[in-house]
Structure 1
Amino acid sequence: MTIIAVVLAVAAALLHVYIFVLESFRWNEPSTRRTFGVSEADAAVLAPMAYNQGFYNLFLAIVTLVGVALLGSENVAGTALALAGTGSMLAAAVVLVTHDRSMVRAAATQGTVPLLAVVFLLLQL
């Protein structure tokens, strides 16, 4: 169970690093605007918020990766950190879809791997 939990937690973290790059550094690129469904004019207005939000995603990824790194030597602390990171990723996806039902696809993309990571992290306890 632990190997599956680690793979899923790392995958969730890497996805959120990718989202960080999109939101914080590639926000105004046409392909990124299409991904997020944002017009060029709206992207300019939303850029400061996206930049900040990208860093939130990076920090969640870091917490998750530190937790994964600790799983072998400090299982309780590692599990707690990995759950804090992936659980927050999952919670953000739930908030996204409950706020705007049209965001089901984005929430599923953002939240499925963290959900699976949370399940397998809990199973390995």
Structure 2
Amino acid sequence: MAGERDLQKLLGGMNPELNPGRYVYCTFPGRVPAGLRPVVTVAEAEGVTAVVAQDEADALGLTYAYVAAWITLRIHSALEAVGLTAAVSGRLAEEGISCNVVAGYHHDHLFVHADDATRALTALQSLAHA
């Protein structure tokens, strides 16, 4: 099934959903340790970044500096869609909320500071109904 490309349909149907738990950004010099279950990984020249559940990171004694809430935009957006990331991050910026965006094949995922989760969800819901 092809993802949606129309920005107005994407915004109106994004249906932001707050996933349970808190998530943290960890970095590793080579690869993700065996047994770790990240929800996102990014390979960079400096090392691998992994976003993992805070409970898991704590249980494994991992260090991290950023504690986030994970919001999923439930609409199936096309990877080539134009404007969704800008509209969403712009709306959150208006509220003074930082946002780290990751595009999956089916959905876009936002990681916002854990303390801002409720405000972010409210801002996104207002954007969807604008």
TM range (shorter): under 0.3
**Higher strand residue share:** 2
Question: When the two structures are superposed, what TM-score results if normalisation uses the length of structure 1?
Answer: 0.27
**Higher helix residue share:** 1
